[in-house]
A and B are shown apart, each in its own frame.
Chain A
Amino acid sequence: MFSGYLTIAVFLPIATALLIALMPRRDQWIRWTAIGATVVELVLTITIFIRYEIDKGGVQFVDLFGNWIPIEGFDARYLLGVDGLSAPLVLLTGILGAAAAFASWRIKHRVREYFIWLLILQSSVMGVFVSLDLLLFFIFWEIELIPMFMLISGWGTGRPRYSAMKFVIFTLAGSAFMLVAILALFMSGQIGTFAMVSIPEEGIVGIPEKMALATGLIAPTALIFAFFLIAFAVKLPVWPVHSWLPDAHTDAPTAVSVMLAGVLLKMGGYGLIRISAGFFMESPDFQIRDAGWILAIGAAISIVYGAVLTLRQTDLKRLIAYSSVSHMGFVMLGVAAVSATGSKTASGGLNGAALQMFTHGTITGLLFLLVGMTYERAHTRHIPDMGGLAPKMPLIATAFLVAGLASLGLPGLSGFAAEITVFLGTWDVWPIATGISAFGVVLAAAYILWMVQRVFFGPRPERFDDAEDATIVDLIPVVGLIAPIVIVGIWPAVITDTFEIGIKATLGL
């Protein structure tokens, strides 16, 4: 079967990158081509999201191309598809890809190379979310590093080279464990497939189903689980492997921070749900529910520790970066609900985790976008030097406030919906960790409101007198990101219905 949607979605950006490489060196043309491609990509992802039939469920839009390593017993397929878990994340990638392209409007330096890397980045992230073959998934997971490395070290600020290398080494070290885990799974006779899900129509039996029956894996099941967990924990990131994130975010150019916070971190959460939870729910010898306490503790520490560190930041961008550590902790906390037994159910917590990924993507993406705009106008990110910017740039200030309120979990915006779902889902299972994590929300209110107050209100230094407000081009991505925040905030079901069907299928409930 070959529906083609996803293949186009994965390869459209990279094809555009090739086109740009061959185009004449006219910066304006390159910008419009890149933006055009990401907008087409956005339309495509919206189409995929809308046309995903929730009633039918399962994997849809399958692109299958038999064995691309046709060796006996090496069953690696080109297998793309979306289910309820990945469809919203595909949409998220489309939204943020377009937003990042618009946000790159002001890049003046080596425009051509910049957009080439940005488009390759989008292709690879898209590939991660739609690959349903573990080896293909891993390949896209790795490819994503090169454009990130080049973008951060080439167009970043501060200490870009240090941060880019730190990012790459952390992630590569994590994925090293993942590759060993993948091979260990595959080499175990009873598994013998790389398919991450079962697709009955195609006669594909995925790893989760095989795991349920597998005995005597090549390595202890708990060890394989731990290896996967390391990779995802680095990517998410969770304390104590989070330290690459503040550096990479702070030093990356605006659009790259948007992509990094918006989509790249979600790869970790996606892997956690699809692989850690999906594969190890019913595996013999060891089940993920036995490791739930590790997830819960890691999550609680990340949330509170991240929030406390955020409070102390004086660099606007670094502040948002640390808040990501705290907020991604909620994803981990939601996943910890897999330990639910008896009458309690895990799906609530995981739904919350998935929704938190989507909302954090849009909210933090927007925050980074606005930080970038503020920085361009104020020429500083040092919070104590700022103040009173709201009257000069009312549009940016308003958008910042909306994003900030969504981030701290104001009811009616999407952050609240996600966090409350996580809390409700996890409370039954891990009451203490959930209780501690609730402090994260209180601290979030503190650091967001304090930051907005210090940056946009109060006395204004004279040098900001000629600061200008956002232009139309600036506003397009801002509006594009506020829309899902508000829509999901008022009507979370638009996303959660899809997530729910996917998570139920993933967990085999």
Chain B
Amino acid sequence: MNSHDIYLISPQIAMAVLAGLIVVIDLVVSDKRLVSAAAILGLAAPLLFTLILWFDAPDDNVGLFGAFVVDKFALFFQILFVGVAAMVFLASTKYQERFEGFRGEFVALMLFSLTGMMLLASARELITMYVALELTSLPAAALVAWLRDDRSSEAGLKFLLMSALSSALLLFGVVFIYGFTGSTFFSEIVTRIADMQATGVLSADEPFGSYALMFGVVLLMLGLAFKLSSVPSQMWVPDVYEGSPTPVAAFLSVASKAAGFAIVLRLIYAALPDPQVSMDTGNLFAVLAAVSMTVGNIAAIRQTNIKRLMGYSTIAQAGYIMVGVAAVAASAEGGGSSSGGPQGVLFYLMGYGFTNLAVFFAIIAITNRTGNDMISSFAGMAKRSPLFAGLLTIGLLSLLGFPPTVGFMGKAFIFSSAVNSGLLWLAVVGMVNSAASAFYYLRIVRTMYLDDADDDKKIGGDIPLTLATGLTATGVVVLGVAPWFLLKFAEIAVEGLAIR
């Protein structure tokens, strides 16, 4: 490890150091609000290093013996993670009061989990990927159980077990791929597969060219499905969202999912761009996407608890994003094509980040006062809290994919790349699902605007929470009306991905 490696990994180091500092600060200061403030301000450090790397764009961007790459694709996600963390800390300033003596640890664990995500976005080697994944998941399991009541503990345990199970699947997949190609480095895997394709080791009749490779890729992707919260590893989502502290659910639903998609896209581009393998990966994702959307939407319809509903909603949303991934992988030119594909996924992920955070923050604001996660307790919220009801409506409409929000733009980009890749059927399934989701999203809107409240007390949020909700909701509308800035950003990020 030389100084250049340290330069490349500086955002991750800054994040980890910040986490350590927070623990120390928590020991020293008595006013715990300072902890949140320090965390938010401290995020400037990893952000700064990320931005330096973005603008510097070093030519030699592979470090740590080839296990780690700093391209704009990774940096895009790092910016996303830092932004999500800042927003979640801002929004949960007041919520953290209920953790009493454990505020510093709460923030610190979240920062450690973020460090893992930032590493994951940069990983270009299978073991690094696995370690980064574990670093992401283990602190998250503790965070889920942070309320320390029955529900929360149960959720934490469930998260931990499911995480372990999917790690096992993932490792099994890694073993197959390593055994087949003889390397864990993405760049090596590419050349080995290309060689095998050239020498005829891979057969056109077998899926993925060879059954060994098929097992490897499928198990790997199923393990990652845990992070994406998609079928078949979706069972934990509603329980964990319901039981965990709401800011943690918000964090998991956005950052954790984005990290999962980052590594999936990287795998498709950097490790498995062989046309045949990529085509089959695309088909795998197409099927998973279709099932995820349908399962999420159907289950969401009957929910009465809003956090649980949001859990099923994120399963469906994972399905929509996977439509984009499937389109990228299945596009005729193989995974290496940069046109019309992954920037749609990146756009959607960022837009989804704004949207889901806005929704969760509004839920935090409202449930903080009502003390009740039932959708029925949102009745008459338009009167009790016009601001938060309005912001929540914007967020829900964006989840539904309604113009003029960013959700609509994102869906338009994703489904157009699906159509472009010849996955017309998937686009139709996706759009019909999206239509069906109106049922449960609009039901919340209707409850807030048309039902009478049993309590007329006004509800307001604390200033940081209001600020965070307002900022994210503004992003939803601004990016919906003027999507070019974000799309350009995503395009630049993707350019780096195609060059290996």
Spell out A's residues near B (CB within 8 Å).
Answer: 68-71, 113, 135, 138-139, 142-143, 146, 149-150, 153-154, 161, 164-165, 168-169, 172-173, 175-177, 179-180, 183-184, 186-187, 218-219, 223, 227
Q: Is B235 an interface residue (CB 8 A)?
A: no
What would 19 A/B residue contacts be, using CB atoms closer than 8 Å?
Answer: A139-B403, A139-B404, A142-B408, A146-B397, A154-B450, A165-B442, A172-B436, A173-B432, A173-B436, A176-B431, A176-B435, A177-B432, A179-B415, A179-B431, A183-B415, A184-B419, A186-B416, A187-B340, A218-B424
Bound complex: CA of A172 vs CA of B416, how far in Å? 18
Cross-chain contact of B431 among A135, A177, A219 (Cβ < 8 A): A177
A251 → chain B closest CB, angstroms? 14
When A70-B484, A165-B442 are in contact, do A187 and B397 touch as well, CB less than 8 Å? no
Bound complex: CA of A70 vs CA of B487, how far in Å? 10
Task: Report chain A residues within 8 Å CB of B427.
Answer: 180, 183-184
- With CB as the reference atom, state the residue of chain B lying closest to A150: B449
Cross-chain contact of B439 among A142, A154, A165, A218 (Cβ < 8 A): A165
When A180-B427, A187-B416 are in contact, do A153 and B446 touch as well, CB less than 8 Å? yes
Task: Report chain B residues within 8 Å CB of A219.
Answer: 419, 424
B492 → chain A closest CB, angstroms? 13
Task: Report chain B residues within 8 Å CB of A187.
Answer: 340, 416, 419-420
Cross-chain contact of B402 among A146, A165, A169, A176 (Cβ < 8 A): A146
Q: Say whether B397 contacts A69, CB under 8 Å.
A: no
- With CB as the reference atom, state the residue of chain B lying closest to A227: B428
Q: Say whether B416 contacts A183, CB under 8 Å.
A: yes
Please provide the chain B residues from 430 to 489 with a CB less than 8 Å away from any CB of chain A in the complex: 431-432, 434-436, 438-439, 442-443, 446, 449-450, 481-484, 487-488
A454 → chain B closest CB, angstroms? 35
Q: Is B412 an interface residue (CB 8 A)?
A: yes
Bound complex: CA of A186 vs CA of B419, how far in Å? 10
- With CB as the reference atom, state the residue of chain B lying closest to A161: B446
- With CB as the reference atom, state the residue of chain B lying closest to A140: B403
Please provide the chain B residues from 401 to 417 with a CB less than 8 Å away from any CB of chain A in the complex: 402-404, 408-409, 412, 415-416
Interface centre among B409, B442, B443 (most CB of A within 10 A): B442
B150 → chain A closest CB, angstroms? 35
B340 → chain A closest CB, angstroms? 8
Bound complex: CA of A227 vs CA of B488, how far in Å? 31
Q: Say whether B446 contacts A149, CB under 8 Å.
A: yes
Task: Report chain B residues within 8 Å CB of A168.
Answer: 438, 442
Bound complex: CA of A149 vs CA of B403, how far in Å? 15
A392 → chain B closest CB, angstroms? 35
- What 10 pairs between A and B have smallest CB-CB spacing? A176-B431, A172-B435, A139-B403, A183-B416, A173-B435, A154-B450, A176-B435, A187-B420, A180-B427, A183-B419
A150 → chain B closest CB, angstroms? 7
A71 → chain B closest CB, angstroms? 6
Q: Say whether B424 contacts A149, CB under 8 Å.
A: no
Bound complex: CA of A70 vs CA of B482, how far in Å? 9
Task: Report chain B residues within 8 Å CB of A153.
Answer: 446, 450
Assign chain B's interface to a size class: 35 or more
Bound complex: CA of A363 vs CA of B142, how far in Å? 66
B488 → chain A closest CB, angstroms? 8
- With CB as the reference atom, state the residue of chain B lying closest to A172: B435
A139 → chain B closest CB, angstroms? 4
When A177-B431, A179-B415 are in contact, do A142 and B450 touch as well, CB less than 8 Å? no
Q: What is the 8 Å Cβ interface bit string for chain B, positions 374-410, against chain A (1 contact, 0 not)?
A: 0000000000000000000000010000111000110
When A142-B403, A184-B424 are in contact, do A169 and B419 touch as well, CB less than 8 Å? no
Q: Say whether B408 contacts A223, CB under 8 Å.
A: no
A471 → chain B closest CB, angstroms? 29
A125 → chain B closest CB, angstroms? 15
Bound complex: CA of A135 vs CA of B483, how far in Å? 14
- With CB as the reference atom, state the residue of chain B lying closest to A135: B412
When A70-B484, A180-B419, A218-B420 are in contact, do A169 and B435 touch as well, CB less than 8 Å? yes
- With CB as the reference atom, state the residue of chain A lying closest to B340: A187
Bound complex: CA of A218 vs CA of B422, how far in Å? 7
A259 → chain B closest CB, angstroms? 19
Per DSSP, chain A at the interface is helix
Q: Say whether A71 contacts B484, CB under 8 Å.
A: yes
Q: Say whether A150 contacts B412, CB under 8 Å.
A: no
Q: Say whether A218 contacts B419, CB under 8 Å.
A: yes
Bound complex: CA of A146 vs CA of B408, how far in Å? 14
B483 → chain A closest CB, angstroms? 6
Task: Report chain B residues within 8 Å CB of A138.
Answer: 403
- With CB as the reference atom, state the residue of chain B lying closest to A187: B420
Bound complex: CA of A361 vs CA of B116, how far in Å? 61
Task: Report chain B residues within 8 Å CB of A149.
Answer: 442, 446
Q: Say whether A139 contacts B408, CB under 8 Å.
A: yes
Q: Say whether A169 contacts B438, CB under 8 Å.
A: yes
- With CB as the reference atom, state the residue of chain B lying closest to A155: B450
Q: Say whether B424 contacts A180, CB under 8 Å.
A: yes
Bound complex: CA of A218 vs CA of B327, how far in Å? 14
Q: A150-B446, A169-B438, A183-B427 are in contact. List 20 more A-B contacts (CB 8 A).
A: A68-B481, A68-B482, A70-B484, A138-B403, A139-B403, A142-B403, A143-B403, A146-B397, A146-B402, A153-B446, A169-B436, A169-B439, A172-B438, A176-B432, A176-B434, A180-B419, A180-B428, A184-B427, A218-B422, A223-B424
Bound complex: CA of A175 vs CA of B432, how far in Å? 9
- With CB as the reference atom, state the residue of chain B lying closest to A176: B431
Cross-chain contact of B412 among A143, A183, A184 (Cβ < 8 A): A183
A295 → chain B closest CB, angstroms? 22
Task: Report chain B residues within 8 Å CB of A146.
Answer: 397, 402
Bound complex: CA of A79 vs CA of B14, how far in Å? 49
- With CB as the reference atom, state the residue of chain B lying closest to A185: B419
Q: Say whether A176 contacts B428, CB under 8 Å.
A: yes
Interface centre among B419, B420, B428 (most CB of A within 10 A): B419
- With CB as the reference atom, state the residue of chain B lying closest to A21: B386
Task: Report chain B residues within 8 Å CB of A186.
Answer: 416
A178 → chain B closest CB, angstroms? 9
Bound complex: CA of A113 vs CA of B482, how far in Å? 28
Task: Report chain B residues within 8 Å CB of A113.
Answer: 449
Q: Say whether A71 contacts B487, CB under 8 Å.
A: yes
Task: Report chain B residues within 8 Å CB of A183.
Answer: 412, 415-416, 419, 427
Bound complex: CA of A227 vs CA of B446, how far in Å? 30
Task: Report chain A residues within 8 Å CB of B419.
Answer: 180, 183-184, 187, 218-219
Q: Say whether B438 contacts A142, CB under 8 Å.
A: no
- With CB as the reference atom, state the residue of chain B lying closest to A71: B487
Q: What is the 8 Å Cβ interface bit string for chain B, positions 45-64, against chain A (1 contact, 0 not)?
A: 00000000000000000000
B380 → chain A closest CB, angstroms? 12
A287 → chain B closest CB, angstroms? 21
Q: Say whether A180 contacts B442, CB under 8 Å.
A: no
B480 → chain A closest CB, angstroms? 10
Task: Report chain B residues within 8 Å CB of A71.
Answer: 484, 487-488, 491
Task: Report chain A residues within 8 Å CB of B420.
Answer: 187, 218
Cross-chain contact of A180 among B403, B409, B415, B482 (Cβ < 8 A): B415
Q: Say whether A142 contacts B402, CB under 8 Å.
A: yes
A465 → chain B closest CB, angstroms? 36
Bound complex: CA of A139 vs CA of B409, how far in Å? 10
- With CB as the reference atom, state the residue of chain A lying closest to B435: A172
B405 → chain A closest CB, angstroms? 11
Q: Say whether A69 contacts B484, CB under 8 Å.
A: yes
Cross-chain contact of A179 among B404, B412, B442, B450 (Cβ < 8 A): B412
Bound complex: CA of A173 vs CA of B340, how far in Å? 25
Task: Report chain B residues within 8 Å CB of A69.
Answer: 409, 483-484, 487
Task: Report chain A residues within 8 Å CB of B436.
Answer: 169, 172-173
Bound complex: CA of A173 vs CA of B443, how far in Å? 17
Task: Report chain A residues within 8 Å CB of B442.
Answer: 149, 165, 168
Task: Report chain A residues within 8 Å CB of B431.
Answer: 176-177, 179-180
A136 → chain B closest CB, angstroms? 9
A149 → chain B closest CB, angstroms? 6
Interface centre among B409, B412, B422, B449 (most CB of A within 10 A): B412
Q: What is the 8 Å Cβ interface bit string for chain B, positions 343-375, against chain A (1 contact, 0 not)?
A: 000000000000000000000000000000000
